[in-house]
Amino acid sequence: MTGNPFFSLQDKHFLVTGASSGIGLCICRSIVASGGKITGTARRGNLLSEMVRELGENNASFIEADLALDEGIDKIAGEVEDIDGLVYAAGISKMSPLKFIKRQNLEEVMNINYFSMVLLLAQLVRQKKIKKNNHSSIVLISSVAQQVGTKSSLLYTGSKGAMSAAGRVIANELSSQKIRVNTIEPGMVQTAMASEMEDVLSSETVEKDKQKYPLGYGTPEDVANAAVFLLSDASRWMTGQSLTLDGGRYKLLD
Ligand SMILES: NC(=O)c1ccc[n+]([C@@H]2O[C@H](COP(=O)([O-])OP(=O)(O)OC[C@H]3O[C@@H](n4cnc5c(N)ncnc54)[C@H](OP(=O)(O)O)[C@@H]3O)[C@@H](O)[C@H]2O)c1
């Protein structure tokens, strides 16, 4: 093997949620490119089988399931083989000013972005699917939104704040098994989710927002590279942390 072995994912197997598109799909590709194997999960089975075709059946498999339902979570936790960790990249984004928010809107976003993350991890831990004392690593894809107070982002920001806070608690609880938990908090990344937001906002607003990123908007690869680092033994002394990836958006101010 060439290169620094600490960064290799050779002989490791990870579960990736949100594997059908965007950041989750790119993380699947990067894990396999780093020598690891993945089981990807999402609702769109056609996209998951394309992903397996692309990455090869020896490296990738999939479980088609809806994380918003208890049956979906049971199916994933029951079917996945033992793992060296996972990436929770499934998520949805909804924008709404406070005055229009109803319980149903809160439940929809919290359900997939937060409740399902907690319930899936609880099941995997109960079923002892995450290897103990073996440098296992859990990566939660949160958002830099949870560090700031963007107007109309309450539904999404609240769910990601809950995720980041929970990550620290879970990191503490799993540390005795040497299972690490870290979050990645990206700014705007060019994916279907970002395009949906761009459809709602005027192109002028999007252009103005892009100007605020000294290094421009991110790509899924930018997030995937950080995820590979956090999954690998190169980050073996790091747990309970949040890694901000925002091209300098919120720290480098004029
Ligand atoms: N793009 C950004 O600017 C940005 C910035 C910060 C953080 N993030 C976070 O990064 C993560 C990935 O986002 P993305 O930009 O890659 O968006 P995306 O392309 O829309 O991907 C979202 C993924 O979540 C899955 N998903 C949604 N609802 C699900 C459900 N009920 N059950 C199972 N899977 C479900 C989708 O799969 P199916 O539809 O096939 O089920 C899809 O694979 C999200 O958590 C997002 O909040 C994104």
- Counting from 1 in the atom list of ligand 1, the atom nearest the Cα of 192 is 19
For ligand 1, whether the C-beta of 155 sits within 6 Å is no
**Catalytic residue chosen out of the listed positions 156, 213, 217, 250:** 156
Phi, psi of 183, deg, nearest 5: -115, 155
Atom of ligand 1 nearest to the CA of 218: 3
Evaluate whether residue 146 is within a structural domain: yes
**Ligand 1: residue whose CA is nearest its atom 43:** 18
- Residue 198: inside a domain: no
**105 lies in some domain:** yes
Determine, yes or no, domain membership for 201. Answer: no
Measured in Å, residue 133 CA sits from the centre of ligand 1 at 30
Q: Is the CB of 26 under 6 A from ligand 1?
A: no
Q: What pLDDT is attached to residue 144?
A: 98
> Distance (Å, rounded) from C-alpha 73 to C-alpha 131?
19
For ligand 1, whether the C-beta of 234 sits within 6 Å is no
Does 251 map to a domain? no
Q: Which domain holds residue 63?
A: 9-188+220-242
Q: Does the reported pTM lie above 0.95?
A: yes
pLDDT at 196: 82
Minimum CA distance residue for ligand 1 atom 45: 91
Q: Residue 204 has what DSSP assignment?
A: H
156 in a structural domain: yes
Cα gap 28→195, rounded to integer Å: 21
CATH number at 86 reads: 3.40.50.720
User: Which strands form 85-88's sheet, in the order they lie side by side?
Assistant: 60-64, 37-42, 13-17, 85-88, 137-141, 180-186, 242-245
- Decide: 43 in ligand 1 pocket, CB within 6 A: yes
| 230 domain-assigned | yes
Give the DSSP H/E element, type plus range, for residue 87: strand 85-88
* Residue to mutate (ligand 1; options 114, 141, 190, 199; most atoms within 8 A of CB): 141
The pLDDT value recorded for residue 194 is 82
Q: Decide: 46 in ligand 1 pocket, CB within 6 A.
A: no
Cα angle 25-5-77, degrees, rounded to a multiple of 5: 40
If you count them, how many residues does the chain have?
254
**pLDDT, position 1:** 54
Tally of structural domains, the chain = 1
- Give the β-pairing of 85-88 and 60-64: unpaired
Instruction: Give the count of alpha carbons within 13 A of 82, CB side only.
Output: 7
Residue nearest to atom 8 of ligand 1 (CA): 143
Burial zone of 176 (CB within 10 Å; 0-12 exposed, 13-18 middle, 19+ buried)? exposed
Q: Active site includes 156?
A: yes
Q: Is residue 215 part of a domain?
A: no
pLDDT in tens, the chain (254 residues): 568 999 999 999 999 999 999 999 999 999 999 999 999 999 999 999 999 999 999 999 999 999 999 999 999 999 999 999 999 999 999 999 999 999 999 999 999 999 999 999 999 999 999 999 999 999 999 999 999 999 999 999 999 999 999 999 999 999 999 999 999 999 999 998 888 877 777 888 888 999 999 999 999 999 999 999 999 999 999 999 999 999 999 999 88
CB of residue 157 inside a 6 A radius of ligand 1: no
